[in-house]
Amino acid sequence: MCDSKSAISIAHNPIQHDRIKHVEIDRHFIKEKLNNGLIAIEYIPSTLQLVDMFTKGLPTKQFKDLTCKLGMIDTHSPT
C-alpha cells in the first residue's frame, strides 16, 4: 500500500520512468513484479498508513486509531 499517487503512477506508467533518475534499479524490479502479477500497488491515504506511527509524530487520535488496528492496547490506561 502506498500513500503517494505519484509513486503508483510511476510504477504503472513506463513513459514517466525516464524522468526519474534515482529509482532506476528499483523501477525495473517493481515493474517486473507488477507485470508478473506478484504485487499490486494500492493507494491508501496517509492518515491510514500504519507505518507512520513508527516513523512520525502523529496527533493523539490518529495514533490511537492506528494502534487499535494493530491490536495494541495501552497497559497504562485506567480500566
d(CA 19, CA 13): 11
pLDDT recorded at residue 21: 58
Q: Give the global pTM.
A: 0.48
The DSSP code for 45 is -
pLDDT in tens, 15-63: 655 556 556 666 678 778 888 988 888 888 878 888 888 888 888 888 8
Q: Does residue 73 register a pLDDT over 70?
A: yes
Q: Are the C-beta atoms of residues 2 and 52 closer than 8 Å to each other?
A: no
Average pLDDT over residues 6-11: 73
Map out the domains of the chain as residue ranges.
Answer: 5-36, 47-79
d(CA 46, CA 43): 9
